[in-house]
Amino acid sequence: MTTSAGHPRNPGMALDLSLIEGVRVNRSAAERRAAGFGSRRSVKKTHQAAWLVNAIRLIDLTTLSGDDTAGKVKRLCAKARAPLARRIVEGLGIEDVGLKVGAVCVYPTMVPHAVEALEGSGIPVASVATGFPAGLMPLDLRLKEIEWAVAQGAAEIDIVISRELALKGDWQALYDEVKAMREACGEAHLKAILATGELGTLTNVHAASMVAMQAGADFIKTSTGKEGVNATLPVSLTMVRALRDYGEATGYKIGFKPAGGIKAAKEALAWQVLMKEELGRDWLEPDLFRFGASSMLGDIERQLEHHVTGRYAASHRHAMS
Ligand SMILES: O=C[C@H](O)COP(=O)(O)O
């Protein structure tokens, strides 16, 4: 079994605590290194538009609100198929590219609406599941929720880990849960949300990342978007290093998804620089990298319009901004 770009899918492995114990992550060192990604001029001005267009391909365009409706999801899906206004596409000269987002991410009951609205587009539907966002629900119900979302047509499942197990350092129990979730996913890809803002230390973030990958996660994802602190660059650096350690130990390439609170086009650039520098160009493709974001596309569209016309349009001209 392979990913869309032909990388073999992570089968997981037996829990190996030697890849976890003894690893200590120093927060101030991670913060110092992460500070460079947002500030350095790694992306030349002339290349910025190309990087922003690439960021669009990497977005899991998301709506996860209590007031989601079929109509709102359908509008989001229309945006997923045609993420930029026609005048901007023409201005950039990318009419032939068939630009679309990486996926549309919704709550389980919204999956059928998204599947219908995206038919024929090749855009996968991702569903959150397992009692998102807190995950405080009996395991059998969490597994059933995965199965239900897959049966509705979700091709990707964003699960949440039990924070309690990570906080207690009960890695065996966490491994067993995520492995059962991966089995419930079947062919659908599993993204494991660590909710890093609730894990206390970066050492815990590294350990939880490693356990999720050993249990067979296809992606590791920072946050639900509902924690007090969501995606940050130091946390991402820690997860990306775990991902590299796992790759070195097993040969498998795992995807990474920062999510929650990522709103600005310049953040899209910072994260892409981090991925390229830490892991290489393969992680600038949608099968190994996604941004979980509900509102970043609006700012990217604004910046690209400025690139094309030299002017900023009023934000109300950009749907979903
Ligand atoms: O998984 C995606 C997040 O829920 C999106 O968070 P956001 O609304 O802060 O962009």
The domain that contains 143 carries what CATH number? 3.20.20.70
Residue 157 lies in a domain: yes
Residue 3 lies in a domain: no
| End-to-end C-alpha distance for the chain, whole angstroms | 37
pLDDT reported for residue 314: 67
Q: Which residues of 113-135 are buried (b: 16+ CB within 10 A; e: fewer)?
A: bbbebbeeeebbbbbbbbbbbeb
Residue 11 lies in a domain: no
- The β-bridge relationship of strands 156-160 and 103-106 is unpaired
pLDDT reported for residue 319: 58
Instruction: Find the domain containing 241 and state its range.
Output: 17-317
Both tokens assigned to 304: 């690209």
pLDDT reported for residue 321: 41
- Please tell me the total number of residues recorded for the chain in this structure: 321
261 lines ligand 1 (CB under 6 A): yes
What is the CA(77)–ligand 1 centre distance, in A? 16
Residue 5 lies in a domain: no
Question: Best mutation site among 76, 196, 223 for ligand 1, i.e. most ligand atoms within 8 A of its Cβ?
Answer: 223
How many structural domains does the chain have?
1
pLDDT reported for residue 33: 85
Question: pTM for the whole thing?
Answer: 0.95
pLDDT reported for residue 41: 60
What is the CA(277)–ligand 1 centre distance, in A? 25
Enumerate residue ranges in the chain where pLDDT < 50.
321
In three-state secondary structure terms, 62 is strand
What is the CA(231)–ligand 1 centre distance, in A? 9
Rounded CA separation 106/110 (Å): 6
Beta strand residue intervals within 24-102, DSSP E: 59-62
Rounded CA separation 132/135 (Å): 5
User: Please, which residues have CB within 8 angstroms of residue 205's CB and are 6 or more apart in sequence?
Assistant: 25, 194, 196, 199, 235, 238, 239, 242
Residue 75 lies in a domain: yes
Both tokens assigned to 154: 């979700």
- Residue bearing the CA closest to ligand 1, atom 1: 292
Question: Best mutation site among 156, 294, 296, 297 for ligand 1, i.e. most ligand atoms within 8 A of its Cβ?
Answer: 294
Q: How far is CA 225 from CA 64, 75, 238, 295, 302, in A?
A: 9, 21, 19, 12, 23
Residue 62 lies in a domain: yes
What amino acid positions are annotated as catalytic residues? 158, 221, 257
Residue 8 lies in a domain: no
**Closest by Cα among 237, 295, 260 to 133:** 260
Rounded CA separation 177/143 (Å): 9
Residue 1 lies in a domain: no
